[in-house]
Amino acid sequence: MKLLIIEDDPEIQDSIITYLAPEGYACVQAFDVRTALDMITKNSYDCFLIDLNLPDGNGTEIIKKLKKDQNQGGIIVITARDAIEDRVKALEWGADDYLVKPFNLSELNARIKSLIRRIQFQGSQQIAAGELEIFPEYFKATIKGKPLELTKKEFEILMFFVSNAGRVIAKESLADQLWGDDSDFSYSFDFVYAQIKNLRKKLKEAGAREYIQTIYGVGYKFEVE
C-alpha cells in the first residue's frame, strides 16, 4: 500500500507518517505542487493525501491532473478551509474525502482505511477483530457469528474503534465522530459516555471480551489482543 502525502508543513507530515507507520503503508512525502506532479507521473500510489494550500500553488491542480490521467488512487483532501462549499467543490473535482485541519490522526487513519476498502474491495470486505466480525457494507457486526443489535451511532463508534485498534483514542475524537463537524464543538462528553456505555453493554451481553478500555483522563483504547 503506497501513500503520497502532499503537505507543506513538515511537522504535520511527520505526525501523519509516524501515526500511520504501524499500518504498514509505504508513505512518500511531497511538499509542493511541482514535486507532487512530478512524482505522480513517475510512480503509482494507492492513496493521496492532498493539502489545498501549498507554497507554489493549489492542491486542486494535483487533483485535476490525477483525474485527467484517470488515476485509480483514492484522494483525501486535508485543508484548513472548513466552509461547506469548499468541501463540495473538492468532492466535485474528484476528491473522495475531505478532512478539515486540525484533524485527528485517528480520524485520518479511519478515513484512509475506509477509502482503501472502498477502492480495493468495493466496500464488500469484512473486517475481523478478535471475536468480532464487521460488515461495513451492511452496517452489521457479529460476535462469534451472533449478530449484534447496534444503533447507527454505536456501529460508527465500533467501526472507528476497530479501524484504530490498539491505539489510544481521545474522547474528543469520538465526539467529533459522533457530532460531526460542529461549529460549536462540545466538550461535555455526555453523549460519548452514553454511547460507549451502551456499546459496552451490548458487547458484554453478546458474550464478548472487554475490548474497550478506559484510559483515564484521555479516552479509550480498543484492544483486540
Partner 1 sequence: MKLLTKTTLYFITISLFVFFAGGLGLYILMQNLVKNEVDAELLQRIHYVFNQIDPNDSLGPVHFIASEPIDIEKIHLPKQSSTFRFQDTVLFNDLTKTYAPYRELISIVKAGPDYYRIRIYKSLITSNTLIEKVALVTTLMLMLFLLLAYFLNRYLFSRVWFDFFATLHKIQEFSLTMPQKEAFSASEIIEFNELNRLLNKMTDKIINDYEGLKEFTGNLSHEVQTPLAVIKNKTELMMQEPLNKQQYEQIGSIYSAANRLSAIVRSLGLIARIDNNQFTETQPVNFKDLILLEKENYEPLMESRGIKIETEFSGQPDIQMNKELAEILVNNLIKNAVRHNLKNGFIRIHLSKQSLTISNSGENPGIPTEKLFDQFSRGSDKGFMGIGLSIVRKITEHYGMSVRYDYQDQQHKITVGFQPS
Q: Which of 34, 167, 206, 224 binds partner 1 (CB under 8 A)?
A: 167
Q: What is the C-alpha to C-alpha distance for residues 103 and 86, in angstroms, rounded to an integer?
A: 16
Residues in the chain: 225
Cross-strand bridge partners of residue 4: 28, 48
Q: State which of residues 195, 202, 203, 222 lies at the interface with partner 1 (CB under 8 A).
A: 195
Beta-sheet strand order (sheet of 146-147): 127-129, 132-135, 140-143, 146-147
Convert residues 34-73 into a mask of x (bound to partner 1 by CB under 8 A) and - (unbound): ----------------------------------------
Q: How far is the CB of 200 from partner 1 (least distance, A)?
A: 13
User: Among 32, 156, 172, 223, which residue interacts with partner 1 (rule: CB under 8 A)?
Assistant: 172
Of 32 and 131, the one with the shorter C-beta distance to partner 1 is 32
CA torsion sign for 125, 76, 109, 219 is negative
Binders of partner 1 in range 93-152 (CB under 8 A): 100-106, 151
CB of 191 to partner 1, least distance (A): 4
Size of the site for partner 1 (CB under 8 A): 45
Q: To the nearest whole angstrom, how small is the minimum distance from the Cβ of residue 181 to partner 1? A: 9
| Residues 52 and 90: beta-carbon distance below 8 Å | yes
- Where b means 16+ CB within 10 Å and e means fewer, 205-225 reads ebebeebbeeeeeebbbbbee
The verdict on 16 binding partner 1 (CB under 8 A) reads yes
Integer Cα distance of 195 and 125 in angstroms: 25
User: How far out from the chain centre does Cα 206 lie?
Assistant: 27
Is 219 a binding residue for partner 1 by CB under 8 A? The answer is yes
Binding flag, residue 85, partner 1 (CB under 8 A): yes
Angle, alpha carbons 111-117-121 (nearest 5°): 165
Q: Are strands 2-6 and 26-30 parallel, antiparallel or unpaired?
A: parallel
Bridge partners, 141 (sequence order): 134
Residue 205 lies near partner 1 (rule: CB under 8 A): no
Q: Is 81 in the site for partner 1 (CB under 8 A)?
A: yes
- Toward partner 1, which CB reaches closer, 41 or 186? 186
Question: Among 70, 145, 188, 225, which residue interacts with partner 1 (rule: CB under 8 A)?
Answer: 188
List the grid coordinates of 19.
501515526
Binding site for partner 1 (CB under 8 A): 9, 11-12, 15-16, 18-19, 80-85, 100-106, 151, 153, 167-168, 170, 172-173, 182-188, 190-191, 194-195, 197-198, 215-219
